[in-house]
Amino acid sequence: SEGPKKVYIIDEVHMLTNEAFNALLKLLEEPPAHIIFILATTEPSKVLPTIISRCQRFDFRPILFSDLVKQLKKVAKAEKIKVEDEAFELIAKEARGGLRDGLGILDQLASYTSKEIKATDVIGLLGLVAGEKINRLIDIIISGAAGEIFTFTNDLIVEGVNLRQFTKELVDYGRNIFIIQNGGADKLINATTEEIETLKVHAKNLSKAQTRRLLNIFSQALTEMKNISDPQFILEMSCVKLMTPAADDDTDALRERLEKLERQLDNSHISVIPAPRETKKVTVKKIAPAKVVTDDEKITPKKVINKSRATSAGNMSLREVERFWPTIMAKIKGLSLPTHAILMECRPISVDNGKFIIDAGTDWRQELLKKPTKTAALKTALKNILGKDLNLVITVGAETNKNKVKPAATESPASALIEADDAVDDENLTLGLIKNSFGAEIVSEKNDTE
């Protein structure tokens, strides 16, 4: 008799065409009450969003290796199939967390063998590489006997081993070593109980740098084997490359060489005796006790810094002034752009007896620099950088004689005229730069309304 419901299971539903999806969508929008659709897929991202939105979603995660072995044993016991423990572990290893795949392999083995299923039966059915072959290759890599690699690969060819499958399992083996070396739990390792013990031995004898290079080199070899007719050459070249880090200049190869040298030093028990130091006579000076400073005598750190700067700024040579000049100019630029523009064509001469002497180059720039706004910006920058209030001496033609140079406090009629109208400061500066740079003259002036 038929049941009240009909169940349709569509496996790998992401393989449907767009036309098939659209036809299915019409059924899912208004499904009959007696029909249930189960859509199974390994790539849900390829299923149309309109289909997913009309389904109740269940995500199945990969099963842990140990749990998969337990489930396979449970099924084998219920079906009265005799299987040895190592065979269960090999089936679970090949299933890679998929119970359906594991049960499929178990079903094939049950029909393939009439008696107890053994590990050799699993290896023969799936074309796996026996664990001792991988162990032998790892032992050769640890010993550093590169010449044995060619004999080993030739034996694999004679025995009919699929070299690409062998390389794939070698990468998996290297990953398990990598997990152990970095403190991963045993349940995360996709290997049999016997293999885990061998993995731990290899993890101690291989450095972390060697393991990283093993994974990188053989992963690349696995890709190259897809496009070459002679995988034996790729396997041999990869093994020799791994065993000769001196011929490789990548970071992991250099790190492996360093770790190898460190192990050799640790094993050789070399003691390094430091060379005797030369004895030098040391003259000890008595230091006067520190003066106790009262609250009235305390000074701020800022004042201490300014005092040390002021001492060095009392008298400075031209070279020392030029060394500070870029810093002074940067400070002025932040205070006054017009002042900075004028000083771009000027040059400092020296600092002498509290006077900072600047060569303006032209009378026009000299008059502008004597303006209080320009003088204030320059003095502020000098005090901030050199730590002292300095008097400005603006000269023309590098006149440093104080008898020939008028102090900055003396104002000429021209500068007084410029100060009278601060609103035209930028306009005077622009006209002055044009006249000075191109030798221009003002012919006439017009208002905007003319």
For residue 269, pLDDT beyond 80:
no
Summarised one tens digit per residue, pLDDT across range 31-88 is: 888 889 999 998 999 999 999 998 999 988 888 888 899 999 999 999 888 988 888 8
Summarised one tens digit per residue, pLDDT across range 318-328 is: 677 777 788 88
Q: What is the pLDDT of residue 71?
A: 92
CA distance 15 to 52: 15
Coarse DSSP helix, strand, coil percentages of the chain, rounded to the nearest 5 percent: 60, 5, 35
The answer to whether 65 and 93 have CB atoms below 8 angstroms apart is yes
- pLDDT category at 305 given cuts 50, 70, 90 is very low
Q: Which fold has domain 309-438?
A: GMP Synthetase; Chain A, domain 3 (3.30.300)
Q: Which fold has domain 65-126?
A: Helicase, Ruva Protein; domain 3 (1.10.8)
CA distance 388 to 339: 20
Amino acid letter, 179: I
DSSP summary character for residue 38: E
**Average pLDDT of the chain, as a whole number:** 76
The answer to whether 15 and 44 have CB atoms below 8 angstroms apart is no
DSSP assignment of 162-177 equals -HHHHHHHHHHHHHHH
Which residues are CB-contacts of 308 (< 8 A; sequence separation ≥ 6)?
387
Summarised one tens digit per residue, pLDDT across range 191-232 is: 777 788 888 999 999 888 889 999 999 999 999 998 888 889
Q: What is the pLDDT of residue 73?
A: 92
DSSP summary character for residue 246: G
CA distance 88 to 177: 22
The answer to whether 237 and 248 have CB atoms below 8 angstroms apart is no
Q: What is the pLDDT of residue 429?
A: 55
Strand partners, 393: 357
Which residues are CB-contacts of 407 (< 8 A; sequence separation ≥ 6)?
391, 392, 393
% the chain with pLDDT above 90: 14
Summarised one tens digit per residue, pLDDT across range 430-441 is: 565 565 555 566
- 């070593």: which residue's tokens? 177
CA-based torsion, 185, 98, 90, 228: positive or negative: negative
> Cα torsion for 242, 186, 88, 40, to the nearest 10°?
-90
The answer to whether 66 and 76 have CB atoms below 8 angstroms apart is no
Q: What is the pLDDT of residue 348?
A: 83
For 127, the token pair is 């074309």
Alpha helices in 48-98 (DSSP H): 49-52, 65-78, 85-95
Q: Which fold has domain 131-267?
A: Zinc Finger, Delta Prime; domain 3 (1.20.272)
Summarised one tens digit per residue, pLDDT across range 375-421 is: 888 888 888 877 777 788 888 875 444 433 333 333 443 343 334 33
Q: How many Cβ atoms are within 10 Å of 176's Cβ, its own excluded?
A: 23
CA distance 324 to 304: 20
Higher pLDDT, 450 or 308: 450
Q: Where are the domains of the chain?
A: 6-52, 65-126, 131-267, 309-438
CA distance 182 to 450: 85
Q: What is the pLDDT of residue 361?
A: 81
Q: How many CA atoms lie within 13 A of 151 on its CB side?
A: 6
What is the pTM assigned to this prediction? 0.43
3-class DSSP assignment, residue 381: helix
Which residues are CB-contacts of 420 (< 8 A; sequence separation ≥ 6)?
none
Instruction: Kindly state the helix (H) or strand (E) to which residue 392 belongs, with its residue range.
Output: strand 391-395
For 394, the token pair is 């603006």
Q: What is the pLDDT of residue 370?
A: 84
Q: What is the pLDDT of residue 418?
A: 38
Summarised one tens digit per residue, pLDDT across range 92-113 is: 888 888 888 899 999 988 887 7
Q: How many CA atoms lie within 13 A of 245 on its CB side?
A: 22
- Diameter of the chain measured on Cα atoms: 127
Give the burial class of 8: count Cβ atoms within 10 A of its Cβ; 0-12 exposed, 13-18 middle, 19 or more buried: exposed
